C-alpha cells in the first residue's frame, strides 16, 4: 500500500462506530507477548469471518484523534493464511 492508500484506510477505520473483531486501536502497545496475543486473536477472528486481513492501529484510542506513539508504523495490516 502506498501512503495515500494507508491514510485512506486509517480514516475509514477511525470512522467505524467502534472497534471490531478484526480492528483494534492501541495508544502505545509495546509488549511483544501482548502484541502476539492480539495478532493471534485478530487473525483467528478474520479467518472465522472469512476476511483476508485484520488491523491493529497504533497511536489511536477507540477512533479518537491520532495520538503520539513510540511504535512504528502507525498502521499494521496482516493477511490471514
**What are the domain boundaries of the chain?**
3-79
Give every CB contact of residue 34 below 8 A, 6+ residues apart in sequence. Answer: none
Question: What predicted TM-score, i.e. pTM, was given to this entire model?
Answer: 0.71
Q: Is the pLDDT of residue 57 over 90?
A: no
Stretch 35-41: mean pLDDT: 91
SS3 of residue 9 by DSSP: helix
**Average pLDDT, stretch 52-59?**
88
Amino acid at each position: 500500500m502506498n501512503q495515500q492508500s494507508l491514510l485512506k484506510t486509517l480514516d475509514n477505520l477511525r470512522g467505524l462506530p467502534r472497534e471490531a473483531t478484526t480492528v483494534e486501536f492501541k495508544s502505545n502497545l509495546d509488549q511483544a507477548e501482548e502484541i502476539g496475543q492480539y495478532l493471534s486473536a485478530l487473525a483467528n477472528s478474520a479467518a472465522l469471518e472469512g476476511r483476508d486481513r485484520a488491523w491493529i492501529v497504533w497511536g489511536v484510542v477507540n477512533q479518537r484523534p491520532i495520538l503520539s506513539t513510540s511504535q512504528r508504523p502507525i498502521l499494521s495490516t496482516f493477511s490471514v493464511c
